[in-house]
Structure 1
Amino acid sequence: MRREKVPVDMSSEQKNLMGVMSSRQLIYLGVGVALTYSYIQPLFSIVNNVAGWITALIICVITVLPVAFVVGFFGFTKVSKYNMNRDYFMLIKLQKHTQYGKWRKGV
């Protein structure tokens, strides 16, 4: 019997924003920017009063890096082995554990 591997996504993701980003990527970017904006302003003002603006700028850049990494990792990378986006792949992996059970034939 011949086996063919069929990818999950038969068509590529539509790039809605001027042919550059899809809606999913835009949502990831928007959430990342909103999260960063919400904590950078208070953090900068607190550190600026204590240690100066150069130190505050360095600390703010360092604290933005994890958010940028997570947004870039989940929003803009693909798992090439399975031909799917990283966030969808991780969602499938997390749901895999809930699908195990005891199955009997004929019930």
Structure 2
Amino acid sequence: MRKTASARGNAHSRDGMSRPRRPAARLFDLRLVSDDPAPVYQQLVDQLRLLVSTGELSPGARLPSARHLAANLGVNRNTALRAYMVLAREGVFEGRRGGGSRVQSREPRSLRRPDP
């Protein structure tokens, strides 16, 4: 069954039945510094990693698309994609084709605090 999107944001199938779309991913407060010696993608990686480690981005949280994040920050989409790919390789984020990216359900070892 083929699906189309309406102007109201509901997905419709050919039979006219509608279903609500997935909730939009929350954008978070990120600050990029132009005179920082670190590349922009690395600034994104560091800030996103911090949001996960402090719990501001909780396990399983849906992330905005790289395109949406880039547009809101005024950076190239490839910059946001690179940051997401680095965090996916580290096991902080997980991505699914067509399903968007999410924070890993379990905290990666790289973010765990050592036992006292």
If the length of structure 2 is used for normalisation, what is the TM-score? 0.25
More helix by share: 1
Name the larger-Rg structure. 1
More strand by share: 2
If the length of structure 1 is used for normalisation, what is the TM-score? 0.27
